[in-house]
Chain A
Amino acid sequence: MLTRRAALMGAAGIAALPVLAKAAKAEEAFTPIAAPADLSKLKRIRRELVAPPYVHEHEQVAPGEPRIVEFEMKIVEKEIQVADDAWLQGMTFDGSIPGPMMVVHEGDYVELTLINPSDNMLQHNIDFHAATGALGGGALTLVNPGEKTILRFKATRPGTFVYHCAPGGPMIPWHVVAGMVGTIMILPRDGLKDHEGRQVAYDRVYYIGENEFYIPKDAEGNYKRYADVGESYPDTLELMNGLVPSHVVFNGAVGALTGDHALKAAVGEKVLFVHSQGNRDSRPHLIGGHGDLVWESGKFNNLPERDLETWFIRGGSAGAALYEFLQPGVYAYVNHNLIEAVNLGATAHVVVEGDWDNDLMEQVLAPTEMAGI
C-alpha cells in the first residue's frame, strides 16, 4: 500500500507538465513580485456549498458592490456505487460527483480554501476555467495529503464554467473521469437577460453534472472492485484509452436523479438547467419540453439561443438552459445520444405538477384496434 502510494505520488510529480511540477516545487519559496492586491475594503461573504443537483443560496441580481465570496472544499477519495453492479474508486470535490456548484457575480472575487485530508492517497489541485492565469489556478493549488491551500481569483467573465482537478500528466484525465469536476456560475451583476436584453429570473436552478466512467470488468464480465484508488489505476487507464465508457451518468450514478430522487417543478415555473461535462461532449434534451433560452456555450455575454430542442455541451464546458414548464407530467432530461441515456445511464426525470393544457396537447384517440385491417 505504502509502496503503491509512494509510487503514484512520485508518478504524479514526474509525469507532470514541467511547468506544473516547477510551480509546485517553487510554491513554498515563492515571493510575489507584484504587490498583493488590496482588497481590504471589500465585503466578505461565506457560502456553504451544497451537494448537486442543488445549488447554494444566492442572489440572481448582485446586491451592491463586488464582494469576496469564500468557499471551502474538502477533497474526498472514496469508493462510490455508480450502478447496481458497479463501483468506482472515486475522487471528489467535497464528496460528491460532480463537485458542488458555486455561484458568484461578475466582478466578485472567488476565494477557495481547498483541503486535501491526510487520509487521502494522492495529490490534487483545482483548475478553474473561469480564472485567468497559472493554469486556471492549478499551478498554485497542488496539495499533498494533509495540506490545504487558498486561492483567490477575480470572476471577470460571466457564464457557467467547469472546474476540475489537473495534477499533471496522465493524472489529469484520470482524476477527472474519477469524478473531480464541477461547475461555477458567474452571473452578470444585473442578472440574466433574454435575447432582447430584458432581465429574466429563474424560480429554480438544477445543476446536472454529467460524468462518464470507465470501470473495468473481470474475466466473467462482472465489474471489478478495487481496494483503493491506486489499485484501480492500471486497468482503468487501459480502458480510458479505448475511449469507450462503461457508464455515462448524471449526478454520479445511474438513477441518481430518477424515482425518489427525481427533480421537481411546477407548471409556470422557470427552471435553469446548468449542464457540465468535464471530459466529453454531450447533448442535453428535455423530452416533452424545450430550451426557451439557451446559453449553449454557457457564457452570458452572448445572446441566448431560443426554442432549442437539443443543445450541445462541449467536453470541458458547462452550458445553461432556461425553460418554463407549460404542461404537467413526467419529463425525461437526457443526453440525446440515446444509447448513453438509456443503456449507459444518462437520464434524469423531472416531475412537474400542474393543470393539463388541452390546447397544447390532447389525446384525440387513445390507442385503439383498427377493425378490418
Chain B
Amino acid sequence: MKLSLLLPAMMLAGTFGWLAVPEPPPPFDPPELVRIDPGPIEWRPFGNFSWQGKASTPEATRVGVPGFEIMKFQVTRAQYAACVADGACAEVPGIGGDLPRTQVNWQDASAFARWYSRRTGETWRLPTEAEWQRAAAERHGDAAPEATDLDPGERMLANYRNGSLLRGQSSPRLRPPGGFGVNSRGVADMAGNVWEWTQGCMQNGTIRAGGSVELTAPYCTVRIAGGLHRAAIIDFVRDPRVGGCAVGLPPDHLGFRLVREP
C-alpha cells in the first residue's frame, strides 16, 4: 500500500477506534447502565416560540423515543479526572471527593464522551433532550407557562412561579452519587441539584393554528440542560449560579451523564 493511502487510513482508524492498536481501557470500572425501553413522552421543544407575532408556548405532543442505555449515575469527579490526566479533557475547578463532576460546560462534557468512546471502543454521547426526558420520567421539569394567550407580564410571572415551585426547598449542596435516589426507571439523581447537559439546542419556531409547531433553525450555541426545570445555557458556561440571570432562576450546578449507542 502506498504511503499516501495508508496515512488517511491510519487517521480514520484513530478517529473511529478500529484497526488501530486498541487503547487501554479507562482506569475505572464500567459505569452501571440502565436500559430505557422504547416509549412515548409528552414533548415540547424548548426555546422562543411565537403565535401571531407574540411570544407563546407550544403545546406538548406525544412522540416516541427509541430504546437506549444511559448511565445510572452522573459522571463523577474521579472519572472525569482520568480524562484530564490523559490530556483529553480540560481542567475544571473543584477536585476530589466522591461527587458528581460539575463545573463542566457542554464542550467539556462532549470531550469526555469522545475520550471515553475512544478508550472503550464503544460509542458514548450526551443524551438527546427526548432521551433525557424519557429517562427522567416523573422528574422531568419544565417551567414554561402552560397557556398560549398570556400577556407579557403574565408569561413572566408564570415562568417565575413555575421555576420557584419546581425548585421548592432544594439545597445546592452537592451529594455523592445516589444522594437524590432513583426514579421510577431506576436512574439515579435525575433532577437533583445538578442539571445535565443534553445534545438539545435552543429552538425557535412559530405555532400554527391548532397548536402544532413549525420549527426553524436550531441555535446550537445554546444547549439545553435537563433538571428541575429545563435550562438553556451557552455551551461554554461552566458555572450558571451566582447571582443569577436578570430574572429567572439559574441551575445550581452543571454536570452530565452519557448514553451508550448499541
**A: which residues have CB within 8 A of B?**
83-85, 220-222, 254-255, 258-260, 262, 287, 327-332, 334, 341-347, 349, 351-356, 358, 361, 363-369
Contacts and interface: CB of A to CB of B under 8 A. Distances in A.
Nearest to A348: B243
B50 A367 contact: yes
B157 A353 contact: yes
A332 B160 CA distance: 12
B1 interface: no
A328 B243 contact: no
A328 B247 contact: no
B172 A329 contact: no
B152 A330 contact: no
Nearest to A367: B48
B261 interface: no
Interface stretch (B13-21, B52-60, B133-141): B52-60
Given A365-B50, A369-B204, 19 more contacts: A84-B252, A220-B96, A254-B242, A258-B244, A328-B153, A329-B152, A329-B157, A330-B156, A332-B246, A342-B245, A342-B246, A345-B243, A356-B152, A363-B54, A366-B50, A366-B53, A366-B55, A368-B206, A369-B216
Interface in B58-104: 93-96
A260 B54 CA distance: 28
Given A84-B173, A330-B160, A356-B153, A367 B242 contact: no
A354 to B, nearest CB: 7
A364 B152 CA distance: 12
Nearest to A356: B151
Contact of A367 (B153, B167, B204, B241): B204
A84 B204 contact: no
A359 to B, nearest CB: 13
19 contacts: A83-B242, A84-B252, A221-B93, A222-B94, A254-B242, A287-B246, A329-B153, A330-B157, A330-B247, A343-B243, A344-B242, A345-B243, A347-B243, A354-B153, A355-B153, A356-B151, A356-B152, A364-B53, A366-B55
Contacts, number: 105
| Most chain A beta-carbon contacts within 10 A, residue among B48, B160, B245 | B160
A369 to B, nearest CB: 4
Interface string B26-68: 0000000000000000000000111101111000000000000
A332 B247 contact: yes
Nearest to B96: A220
B154 interface: yes
A287 B50 CA distance: 24
Nearest to A345: B243
A346 B243 contact: yes
A321 to B, nearest CB: 19
B209 interface: no
Given A329-B156, A365-B53, A343 B151 contact: no
B249 interface: yes
Pairs A-B, 5 closest by C-beta atoms: A328-B153, A366-B50, A356-B151, A84-B172, A329-B156
Contacts of B167: 259-260
Contact of B241 (A84, A262, A341, A354): A84
B249 A345 contact: no
A356 to B, nearest CB: 4
Nearest to A353: B157
B84 to A, nearest CB: 15
B50 A342 contact: no
B244 A347 contact: yes
Contacts of A361: 152
Interface in B231-261: 241-249, 252
Contacts of A352: 153, 157
Contacts of A344: 242-243
B217 interface: yes
B107 interface: no
A262 B248 CA distance: 11
A342 B55 contact: no
Contacts of B53: 363-366, 368
Contacts of A363: 53-55, 152
Nearest to A370: B216
B128 interface: no
Contacts of B93: 221
A347 B246 contact: yes
Contacts of A328: 151, 153-154, 156-157
Nearest to A354: B153
Contacts of A354: 153
B99 to A, nearest CB: 12
A353 to B, nearest CB: 7
B123 interface: no
Contacts of B96: 220
Contact of A351 (B160, B172, B242): B160
| Most chain A beta-carbon contacts within 10 A, residue among B55, B96, B173, B244 | B244
Nearest to A327: B153
A363 B54 CA distance: 6
B164 interface: yes
Interface in B147-187: 151-154, 156-157, 160, 163-164, 167, 172-173
Given A328-B153, A330-B160, A363-B53, A349 B173 contact: no
A365 B56 CA distance: 12
Nearest to B242: A343
